[in-house]
Amino acid sequence: MKQLPTRTEAKAHAKYLSRSLNINLSYAQDVVALRYNCHDWSELSTVFGQFSDKYMSCYGLASPEEKRAFSQLLAPYTAELQNAAHPDRHVPESLMHKIAEGHIPRVSGKVMSAVIRECEDSPPTTVEDIIDLLEFYDETASRVLVGQHRQIASNNTWLEPWVFGLRFYAYYHFKGKMVTILSREWDLDIHDAYLPHVRDRVFSRPWFQAYMVGYLAYLVKQFIGLGYDGTIKICCVNNYSALDYHEKKAAPYSRVGIHHLYRALLDCGGEYKWSLSQNGHKHDFGIELPFAALTSLKKGGK
């Protein structure tokens, strides 16, 4: 059994979502409730702080034991880690910045447990070993930029930020300070998103489109903050492709909310685009947006 978030923890999570994704706080609370298999905030409020197995499908808060083990693991390298955040690749939201600024409680239990497990299997011997591990498990654009720093011109880094309940799989193509992001798979991964008998429940929530678009804006702002510009293309959302939407094919399990998301991407400046291979073959049809189209959005989800 594990402990559900306390009222303070759940409210802090909701405020972070509201601020980061630019959505209304009441809708952010609804998201947090779904993360713990509760239908809404009212249901979650009846079980704050309780120990349970029923609500654990997307659990990610660190336990006291994980926090203690993670802190002990980093303790020998405290001074070096405080100076390890690099202005060219570590965004303010990155794992390195959280650690450098002493905000270890803000690290998800998912990341803590992964780092602890890796160190148990292969104990680090230098601070560079620890930095490499922390950069690998980063959940922000910094995970991508570390590859760019190592002169990987194109990489397919995946981002799975627990705090947002998303999985974002993409290719990042760099040319100087321009980056082209091609996402072939982008999934909302909370509560009933993958239950085949549930008809559009998560996707029809009033915050769904603003939440998803808000994440794209959050991501590209991290790149912009380090001097990059570029485009982002979305090819598929929860197994329903932009091409299927363009061809007016039904979404699986009648998830019409994904229709509205694609429409929202087009309405905020997106365009249908094919990618072209070197020999001229078309591939990866999607909706492409310039970074600027996402950074100028007004608050959504009201």
pLDDT at 231: 98
Centre a 10 Å sphere on the Cβ of residue 260 and count the other Cβ atoms it contains: 16
pLDDT at 237: 96
Long-range contact pairs involving 252-259 (C-beta distance under 8 Å, separation at least 24): 253/196, 253/198, 253/199, 253/200, 254/199, 254/200, 255/199, 255/200, 255/203, 255/204, 256/200, 256/203, 256/204, 257/200, 257/202, 257/203, 257/204, 257/205, 257/208, 257/209, 258/203
| Measured distance CA(203)–CA(22) in Å, rounded | 18
Q: Provide the whole-model pTM.
A: 0.92
pLDDT at 192: 60
pLDDT at 197: 56
**Which DSSP state fits 4?**
P
SS3 241: strand
pLDDT at 193: 55
Instruction: Collect the ranges in the chain with pLDDT lower than 70.
Output: 55-59, 149-154, 191-200, 301-302
pLDDT at 241: 97
Closest CA to 112 of 78, 160, 66, 65: 66
| Measured distance CA(209)–CA(130) in Å, rounded | 37
